[in-house]
Amino acid sequence: MRVYVLNGVNLGRLGTRQVDVYGATGYADLVALCERTGADLGLEVTVRQTDAEHELIGWLHDAADEGAAVVLNPAAWSHYSIAVRDACAMLRGPLVEVHISNIHAREEFRHHSVVSAVATGVICGLGLDGYRLALHHLATLSG
């Protein structure tokens, strides 16, 4: 199974941005975790991050065209980007939305995700382990 692990705005700053919320682990370590987990599970994993909304939408279109599964951390775009939500709705493969922090325990404007309604499942508040769990879930669907 082909899986895109897509990360939105500011996630490239992991390890230096609000470490009390997102932890001290850097983005390169997240990429390594996803690639290692994917390889262990027999998944073909591609990990990407962008601060450009149009680029994320293009990757979602590619995943839709391929019928690939997606693990998506839309970051701040979760809360307001109808364009990201609409691109997610085009996916033919499963979509697992992941948030490192518990968005329901943070500022009120973070409590709602426009993406969740079109996701297969949502994992939030489990730190980087949420990515590993999302990949394990997807592996059960392919096996």
Is 73 marked as binding a ligand?
Answer: yes
Nearest to 85 by CA among 62, 63, 111, 115: 115
Is 62 marked as binding a ligand?
Answer: no
How many residues would you count in the chain?
A: 143
Is 57 marked as binding a ligand?
Answer: no
Q: Residue 53 is encoded by which pair of tokens? A: 């909304």
Answer for the pair 115, 97: CB distance below 8 angstroms, yes or no.
Answer: yes
Residue 11: strand pairing partners: none
Is 86 marked as binding a ligand?
Answer: yes
Answer for the pair 85, 119: CB distance below 8 angstroms, yes or no.
Answer: no
Residues with a catalytic annotation lie at 22, 99
Residue type, 117: A
Q: Tokens 């390890």, residue?
A: 15
Is 110 marked as binding a ligand?
Answer: yes
Is 101 marked as binding a ligand?
Answer: yes
Question: Which residues contribute to the annotated binding site for substrate?
Answer: 73, 79, 86, 100-101, 110
Question: Which residues contribute to the annotated binding site?
Answer: 73, 79, 86, 100-101, 110
